[in-house]
């Protein structure tokens, strides 16, 4: 069960309200996405911690409903 | 059970400056992402200990809960989890990985 782009964006923004989210489809199957997330919240955090914050927004839907998300994170 | 595995992982990353948990071996990586990280480490000329998770199912699962990170490869420098393939590549390209090795006093070429 794929996850549509608007749902991915909604979940990320729920966890990080100030975030800018850019999504790119890696394959046109609504199932493999690349996301760039830009948020002030990331400042001073290691990249691992930044990615963990975004991953946590999906809970256990990451790896099941959302099959693959290639992530880039940065501060504004 | 998982505590034993976490203790083993902890002892590995504490007794080696650079540790890479990967699929396959540096000589024969079994996954493109693991291959990429070995290439970066080789390019930097940094000695590292590779642990093949495909040869040990308990480590394969244990490392994911240890780091709270769902995928392999996983790179550790001085016991600190640095990231998987994407983060390692990003940090290599920006020069941050070399800076980190210098800061931590890890020898490289």
Residue B95 lies in a domain: yes
What residues form DSSP beta bridges with B76? B19, B81
Q: What is the pLDDT of residue A65?
A: 81
Chain B CB contacts of A47 under 8 Å are 83, 87, 90-91
Chain A CB contacts of B87 under 8 Å are 47-48, 51
Angstrom distances, CA of residue B72 to CA of A44, A45, A67, B32, B41:
25, 21, 15, 11, 16
Residue B60 lies in a domain: yes
Residue B54 lies in a domain: yes
Verify whether the Cβ–Cβ distance A52 to B81 is below 8 Å.
no
Residue B109 lies in a domain: no
Instruction: Kindly report the CATH number assigned to the domain that includes residue A57.
Output: 3.30.300.90
Q: Is the pLDDT of residue B77 over 70?
A: yes
Residue B76 lies in a domain: yes
Mean pLDDT across the stretch A31-57?
93
φ, ψ for residue A45, nearest 5 deg? -95, 150
Interface test with A, best of B82, B85, B86, B104 (most A CBs within 10 A): B86
Q: Is the pLDDT of residue B93 over 90?
A: yes
Q: Is the pLDDT of residue A32 over 90?
A: no
* DSSP β-ladder status, A20-25 and A32-38: antiparallel
Mean pLDDT, rounded, of chain B: 95
Domain residues for A66?
5-74
DSSP labels for B9-27?
HHHHHHHSSEEEEESB-SS
Mean pLDDT across the stretch A18-22?
96
Instruction: Kindly report the CATH number assigned to the domain that includes residue B56.
Output: 3.40.30.10
Q: Is the pLDDT of residue A30 over 90?
A: no
Verify whether the Cβ–Cβ distance A72 to B90 is below 8 Å.
yes
What is the Cα–Cα distance from B63 to B53, expressed in whole angstroms?
A: 9
The proportion of chain B whose per-residue pLDDT surpasses 90, expressed as a percent, equals 92
Q: What is the pLDDT of residue B1?
A: 61
Q: Is A25 left (phi over 0), alpha (psi -120 to 50) or beta?
A: beta
Q: What is the pLDDT of residue A1?
A: 64
Domain residues for B74?
2-104
Terminal-to-terminal C-alpha distance of chain B = 40
ipTM of the complex: 0.73
Mean pLDDT across the stretch B62-71?
92
* Residue range B2-25, pLDDT digits in tens: 789 999 999 999 999 999 999 999
Mean pLDDT across the stretch B49-71?
94
Residue B73 lies in a domain: yes
Verify whether the Cβ–Cβ distance B90 to A70 is below 8 Å.
no
Cβ A50 vs Cβ A40: under 8 Å: no
How many domains is chain A built from?
1
Which strand ranges, in their side-by-side order, compose the sheet holding A32-38? A20-25, A32-38, A68-74
How many domains is chain B built from?
1
């Amino acid at each position: 069960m794929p996850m549509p782009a608007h749902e991915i964006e909604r979940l990320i923004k729920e966890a990080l309200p100030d975030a800018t989210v850019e999504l790119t489809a890696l394959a046109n199957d609504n199932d493999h996405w690349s996301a760039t997330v830009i948020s002030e919240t990331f400042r001073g955090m290691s990249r691992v911690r930044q990615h963990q914050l975004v991953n946590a927004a999906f809970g256990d839907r990451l790896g099941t409903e959302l099959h693959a998300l290639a992530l880039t994170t940065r501060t504004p | 059970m998982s505590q034993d595995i976490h203790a083993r992982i902890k002892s590995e990353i504490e007794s080696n400056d650079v540790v890479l948990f990967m699929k396959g071996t540096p000589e024969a990586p079994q996954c493109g992402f693991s291959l990429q990280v070995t290439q970066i480490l080789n390019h930097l000329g940094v000695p590292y200990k590779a642990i093949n998770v495909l040869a040990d199912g308990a480590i394969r699962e244990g490392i994911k809960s240890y780091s709270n990170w769902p995928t392999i490869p996983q790179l550790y420098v001085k016991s600190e989890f640095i990231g998987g393939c994407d983060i390692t590549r990003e940090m290599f390209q920006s020069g941050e990985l070399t800076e980190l090795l210098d800061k931590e006093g890890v020898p490289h070429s």
